[in-house]
């Protein structure tokens, strides 16, 4: 049996999650953020518009994210991962 190429489902999930221990960059642009979160740029915009931005405070044309911000967005982007996190009411 070839143990080198065997990856458990749990290990596959962990590979897609952001690493808390060592951020690789100080800031991520939108394309890099979407890639790190394994979502499309459009899905990233939807998450941001749902949880952060509104009519009075629209999403700016250019965004940069820290590693900590990506961790929070990852909870919003995949609610099943954040079942133990209380949802804040949507901003109008």
In the predicted model, is pLDDT for residue 67 greater than 60? yes
Helix axis angle for 30-37 and 67-77, nearest 10°, is 50
Rounded to whole angstroms, how far apart are CA atoms 33 and 66?
Answer: 9
Rounded to whole angstroms, how far apart are CA atoms 2 and 11?
Answer: 16
Residue 19: the pLDDT is: 59
Q: Which residue has the higher pLDDT, 73 or 20?
A: 73
What pTM was estimated for this model as a whole?
Answer: 0.63
Q: Are 44 and 37 in contact (CB under 8 A)?
A: yes
Q: Are 20 and 66 in contact (CB under 8 A)?
A: no
The predicted model gives 16-28 an average pLDDT of 71
65 by DSSP, 3-state: which?
A: strand
């Amino acid at each position: 049996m070839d143990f080198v190429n065997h990856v458990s489902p749990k290990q596959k999930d962990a590979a897609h999650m952001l690493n808390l221990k060592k951020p690789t960059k100080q800031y991520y642009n939108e394309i890099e953020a979407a890639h790190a979160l394994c979502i499309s740029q459009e899905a990233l915009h939807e998450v941001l518009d749902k949880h952060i931005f509104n009519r009075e405070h629209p999403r700016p044309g250019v965004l940069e994210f820290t590693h900590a911000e990506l961790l929070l967005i990852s909870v919003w982007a995949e609610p099943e991962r954040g079942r133990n996190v209380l949802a804040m009411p949507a901003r109008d």
